[in-house]
A and B are shown apart, each in its own frame.
Chain A
Amino acid sequence: MTKPGEFYQRDRNLQPPAYTPSYKTSVARSPGLAMISLQNSVSKITGPVFGHNDIDPIDNDMIFNYAADGESAIGERIIMHGRVLDENARPVPNTLVEAWQANAGGRYRHKKDTYLAPIDPNFGGCGRTMTDDNGYYFFRTVKPGAYPWRNYVNSWRPAHIHLSAFGSGFCQRLITQCYFEGDPLIPKCPIVQTIPDQDAIDQLVARLDMNATIPLDSIAYKFDIVLRGRRSTLFENRLEGN
C-alpha cells in the first residue's frame, strides 16, 4: 500500500484569476504581485476535522430549519444533492459542506441586503451537513431567485447556491457557487465569467435529476464537488523529516 503524498497542484488555467475587471470589486481586491508557490508541508496537508456532533440533523433542511412550527419556506422545493470527490474520483467522506443562498425572490437574510423583494419569515437561507462514508451529501431547500447587484447598471446574478467544502487538507479548502441547468443568466454573469475555462463553468451547473426527484414533493438537482486530489508517495522524498 502506497502512502498518500502531496496534493496535485491547483490548475490555475481553470480557476479564476484574482484580477477580473468585468467583476468590478475584484479590481481593488486582487493582489498585483505573483503568488509564491509552496510545496506541501504539514501545515497544508492537514486541516480541521469535524464530526456529526458539531452540527444538528435539521441543519441541512433549509425549508424547515428556520421555519415556525407548522410553517415552511415559500418557493420551488428542491433537493440539492451530490458527492464530494477528489480529482482521483475517490469520495471525500465525513467532510463538512456548508451552503447559503437567497430566498425564492432573490432576497438574502442579511442586514446589508436592501433589495426590495421581501424576506420570507420562514426561510433563513443557510444549511450545513457532513458527507457520509461515500462522500454523499444532500440539502433540502427552495430554489433561490435571481437578484440584481451593483456591478453594471443592469446586472443580475443567476439563481445560485453558495457552497463551502473542506476536504482533509487545508489546501483543499474551497468556496464556490452552484448554478441551475438552463438558466439564461449564467453566460451573462461577470462573476461566472471570471472563470476562464468553459468546461469549468459547465461543472458549476447543477443538473436536473429526475431519478432523485421525490414525486409530488421536491424536484432534485445533482451537483458534485471535486476537491484537489493527492498522489501516492512512490519514490520521492518524504514531506517531513520524520
Chain B
Amino acid sequence: MSQTLDYLKETASQTAGPYVHIGLAPGAAGFDIYETELGHDIVGPNAKGDRIRVEGVVTDGTGAAVKDVLIEVWQANADGFYAHPEGGGEVEDGFRGWGRVISDFDTGEWSFETVKPGSTSGRDKSKQAPHLNLWIVARGINIGLNTRMYFSDEDAANATDPVLNLIEWVDRRKTLIAARTETNGTTVYRFDIRLQGENETVFFDV
C-alpha cells in the first residue's frame, strides 16, 4: 500500500435543466425579483475599442435550434487585458468582461453587445488572436461546453493563434470563426454553434 493523496474531488456537474433562467436570468423566466440581474452589461460605458454585436443560434444534432440555452461570455478588453488580478493589466472602470445571454424561447436566436477584445498573451511568449471564451449550458448538456469565438477579419492573427493551431483538422478551425457583417452601421459577427453532426463546433477540455 502507498500513502493516500489527500485531495478533495471536484463536485460533479449536472445539467442546468430547462429552467436555468429562474436562477440565472429570472426576468426571462417571467418574474422580477432582483434589483440588478447580473451579466447584461459586459463592458460598461467606458470601454475603449470597437463596439460590436455578436449573434447566433445553437443547433442540436437534428439541426433544430436549442431554445433553452444559456451562454456565458468571458473576454479581455481592447488592450487584451482581463478584469482579474491575473488579467495582465488595468481595465477601464466598469469593465467586467463577463456576460450572460439566453436564446429567444421561440426562435433560439441569441445576441449580445460588447467590444472587440485585443490580442492576449498565450503560453511561452506566444500571442493569442482576439477571441471570446464561451461557456454553454442547457437542458441535455451534462457539463458546460467550452468553446471560443474568433473574428473573420483577423486572418493574420488567427493564422498564428496557438489554440487554433492545436486543432489538427484544419477544416474544423473555421467552426470557431465568426463572420463579420455590417447592419445599419453596426458591426455584427454571426456565430452559430452546432452541438453535434455536420460542421460540429470545436469544444475544448480546458
A: which residues have CB within 8 A of B? Answer: 8-12, 14-18, 20, 23, 25-33, 35-50, 54-56, 59, 65-66, 85-89, 96, 98-100, 108-113, 124-126, 128, 162, 164, 168, 170-171, 173-177, 191-192, 194-195, 197, 199-201, 203-204, 224-229, 237-242
Chain A residues within 8 Å of B66, by CB: 29
What is the 8 Å Cβ interface bit string for chain B, positions 110-131, against chain A (1 contact, 0 not)? 0000000000111111101001
Q: A41–B128 contact, CB under 8 A? A: yes
Which B positions have Cβ atoms within 8 angstroms of A? 6-24, 26, 29-31, 33-36, 38, 60-62, 64, 66, 68, 72, 74, 76, 82-88, 96-98, 105, 120-126, 128, 131, 133, 135, 137-146, 148, 162-163, 166-167, 195-197, 200-206
Residues of A within 8 Å of B124, CB to CB, are: 237-238, 241
**In the complex, A196 Cα to B23 Cα: how many Å?**
27
A192 neighbours in B (Cβ, 8 Å): 14
The residues of B that contact A229 with a CB separation of less than 8 Å are 7-8
**Of the candidates A36, A164, A199, which one forms a contact with B205 in the assembled complex, judged by CB atoms under 8 Å apart?**
A36
**Interface SS of chain B:** loop
Query: Are A226 and B9 in touch, CB under 8 angstroms?
Result: yes
In the bound complex, do residue A109 and residue B22 qualify as a contact, i.e. CB atoms below 8 Å apart?
A: yes
Q: CA of A40 to CA of B128 in the docked complex: distance in angstroms?
A: 12
The residue from A35, A100, A191 contacting B204, defined by CB atoms under 8 A apart = A35
Q: Which residue of A lies closest to B68 (CB)?
A: A112
Whether B196 contacts A37 by the Cβ 8 Å rule is no
For the complex formed, measure the closest distance between the CB of A225 and the CB atoms of chain B, giving whole angstroms: 5
Is the pair B16, A162 in contact by a Cβ cutoff of 8 Å?
Answer: yes
Inside 8 A of A45's CB, which chain B residues have their CB? 86
Complex CA–CA separation, A56 to B33 (angstroms):
11
Provided the pairs A18-B141, A124-B31, A170-B135 are in contact, do residues A100 and B23 lie with their beta carbons within 8 angstroms?
Answer: yes
Q: Find the B residue at minimum CB distance from A124.
A: B33
Q: Beyond A18-B143, A48-B96, A113-B19, is A36–B167 a contact (Cβ under 8 Å)?
A: yes
Within the complex, what minimum Cβ distance (angstroms) separates B195 from chain A? 5
A239:B123 contact, CB within 8 angstroms: yes
> Known: A36-B203, A98-B23, A109-B22. Contact between A25 and B137, CB under 8 A?
no
Return chain A residues, CB-CB under 8 Å to B16: 162, 164, 175
**With A176-B11, A240-B122 in contact, do A30 and B30 touch (Cβ < 8 Å)?**
no
* Given contact pairs A14-B12, A242-B88, a sample of 10 additional A-B residue pairs in the complex whose CB atoms are under 8 Å apart: A23-B142, A29-B139, A49-B85, A111-B30, A112-B19, A126-B33, A204-B12, A204-B14, A240-B123, A241-B121
Task: Give Cα A194 to B62, complex, Å.
Answer: 22
Partner of B138, one of A12, A29, A86: A29
